[in-house]
Structure 1
Amino acid sequence: MSTPAKPNTSNFIAPPSVASQIAQLPELPMPEIKSLWQRLFGNNVPNHNRQFLERRIAYRLQEVEFRKFDAALLDRNKRRIASLLETGKIKKRDRDYRPPAGTLLTREYQGIEHRVIVTQDGQYDFQGRMYPSLSMIAREITGTRWSGPLFFGLKALASPKTAARRGAQR
């Protein structure tokens, strides 16, 4: 009985990761930046401010790459845009809102910077361990119960009016 032949991968070169593409942007000559802009956006560069162009290109590279993993994000955004056009107001985020895969969340707490990466499967990578919620990570960092989205700045603190209304409803 023979074993199946392994595919020849010696000529296969994996495309560079989004992170490495972004890291290389400052090293690219300006003509290559302009060419990359045209390829990603389909039009000429709007200005010649290199920092602006690098930031927009970096954002677009991430948008293109991570859209592959969270198709629901595009649908959610389309609904929010339609609602904004219809009512003139932005509704609160969906309760199930999670940042797109690849998002890096940082928070400084007691002089230490903590970093969390949103994974493709909707979990959070903190110090090499996977967590199902940001609140669990916030508790790990602080030792007390916290709203994870609030701790990492994804959700604003309740305004004094909102807090007073909640107190009156109880």
Structure 2
Amino acid sequence: MSKKKDLLHRVRAMERMDLADLRTEWRRLYGEPPTMRSAELLRRMLAWRVQADQLGGFDAATRRMLETGKAASPPPVHLPPGTRLARIWKGRRIEVTVTEDAVVMDGVEYGSLSELATKITGTRWNGLRFFGVRSSA
């Protein structure tokens, strides 16, 4: 039997265990079980630990987020020269072209998408969000 099928059978077997059986299984695998009284919660914790042992636990980014309470910053976005972006803002179509060291709109160069988005809207904007390259989520 493959490791994944074995894991699936072990987790499915836990679905039929009562609280006493779950505690016995936890004790067999990990030592003294938590003192909780919820069979469902203990079942989920045990299933997760068994799967994490076999398939790996949290990735590094998730561990950091859990330890610090902060989500990882998204990777930087690099727009290669020649990239063209467009957006409709208040009924006006805005088109920009990314060059080696600037963003060009209507023949005028701007230092960044954010600088341009701020000029267009009159308020501070993240240029990548304004042009839909990066979502707010």
| TM-score, structure 1 normalization | 0.36
Which one has a bigger Cα radius of gyration?
2
| TM-score, structure 2 normalization | 0.44
